[in-house]
């Protein structure tokens, strides 16, 4: 049977304006960094995306190198789109990025016009799209002039290959320079995608202020610190966890007795709020009005369903926020 989206999908989702633009994003967005490559089961990936859309999530975030292997997340997403979402394309915000290593040689990485143009064309082909809604430069390039990189983003909008453009992993001074360049070119920077969680708060030291002042949206990734801010690690490191794998982004060395103490204290506070640790961690990010949306991942539909419940309680008392800060400062 053909997929038919849930008729009430927009009822319980919040939609937030992205900076000073005309675009609104769902408070939660689905990131396809993990669990959507050729090494994963296509049916499971399809089920997660269907649940996301049925729950009011309209934004689906990819990059050229997502997989594994690199490119396969976009290929699988393109297949899922064609088979299930062809009639819903105009209800979806689809984003991609380029800036990390994608192919061998001097033209397969960083921020040159040569690399970005090739990458954009490859991404559109993999997904079977005429355009993406948002295209990001994935990380600053210390060797390519910023003007060249930003001019290429501007070009994509003028060509109709992207409706909006953004940046990712830029520090505050770099972000401010990029935003001003794009504005001068006539293509405003829509959004910035930084890493942000209770355990990684660098964007509070200037970047959020820049984005707020410049009218640019913010969509954090890794809000659960690669799964650390879930109930998975409350009692140590499970054998089937990311931290148990030597090649993962979350290393066993990061899960110290001190961190375990923090996690359990945060979990207790979350319980007092009627939330899981993960739900509180997501709500904590969304508490800031400068945050447009937060990217969540999922390896199965049940994980996504759990994350969606964070929307049931996004309010924090001053005492709760103070308690969280004290826990993170090891004052417990």
pLDDT tens digits for range 243-272 = 545 556 565 666 788 999 999 999 999 999
CB 190 within 8 A of CB 134: yes
pTM for this model (two decimals): 0.94
Domains, the chain: 15-224+288-299+307-312 (3.20.20.100)
| pLDDT score at 204 | 97
**Three-state SS for 155?**
helix
From residue 147, how far is each of 98, 110, 270, 320, 332 by CA, in Å?
Answer: 16, 14, 45, 44, 48
Question: Which candidate, 79, 176, 193, 92, places its Cα nearest to that of 135?
Answer: 193
Angle CA(285)–CA(291)–CA(293) in degrees, nearest 5? 85
| pLDDT score at 62 | 98
Regions of the chain with pLDDT less than 70: 236-254, 331-332
**Matching residue, tokens 């945050």:** 291
pLDDT digits (tens, 9 = 90+) for 86-133: 999 999 999 999 999 999 999 999 999 999 999 999 999 999 999 999
| pLDDT score at 1 | 84
| pLDDT score at 264 | 95
| pLDDT score at 10 | 98
| pLDDT score at 248 | 61
Question: Which candidate, 258, 175, 162, places its Cα nearest to that of 217?
Answer: 175
């Amino acid at each position: 049977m053909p997929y038919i989206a849930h008729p009430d999908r927009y009822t319980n989702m919040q939609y937030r304006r992205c900076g000073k633009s005309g675009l609104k994003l769902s408070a939660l967005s689905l990131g396809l960094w993990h669990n959507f490559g050729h090494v994963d089961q296509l049916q499971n990936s399809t089920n997660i995306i269907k649940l996301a859309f049925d729950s009011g999530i309209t934004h689906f975030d990819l990059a050229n190198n997502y997989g594994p292997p690199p490119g396969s997340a976009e290929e699988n997403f393109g297949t899922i789109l064609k088979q299930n979402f062809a009639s819903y394309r105009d209800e979806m915000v689809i984003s991609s990025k380029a800036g990390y290593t994608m192919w061998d040689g001097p033209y397969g990485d960083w921020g040159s016009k040569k690399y970005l143009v090739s990458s954009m064309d490859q991404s559109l082909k993999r997904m079977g799209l005429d355009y993406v809604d948002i295209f990001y430069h994935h990380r600053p390039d210390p060797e390519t002039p910023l003007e060249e990189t930003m001019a290429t983003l501007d070009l994509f909008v003028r060509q109709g290959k992207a409706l909006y453009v953004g940046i990712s992993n830029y520090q505050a001074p770099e972000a401010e320079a990029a935003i001003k360049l794009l504005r001068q070119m006539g293509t405003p920077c829509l959004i910035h995608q930084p890493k942000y969680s209770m355990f990684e708060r660098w964007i509070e030291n200037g970047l959020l202020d820049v984005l707020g002042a410049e009218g640019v949206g913010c969509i954090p990734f890794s809000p659960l610190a690669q799964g650390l801010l879930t109930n998975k690690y409350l009692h140590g490191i499970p054998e089937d966890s990311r931290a148990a794998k030597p090649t993962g982004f979350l290393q066993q060395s990061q899960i110290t007795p001190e961190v375990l103490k923090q996690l359990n204290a945060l979990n207790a506070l979350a319980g007092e709020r009627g939330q899981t640790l993960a739900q509180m961690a997501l709500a904590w990010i969304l508490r800031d009005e400068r945050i447009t949306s937060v990217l969540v991942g999922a390896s199965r539909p049940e994980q996504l369903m759990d994350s969606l419940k964070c929307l049931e309680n996004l309010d924090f008392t001053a005492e709760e926020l103070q308690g969280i800060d004290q826990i993170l400062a090891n004052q417990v």
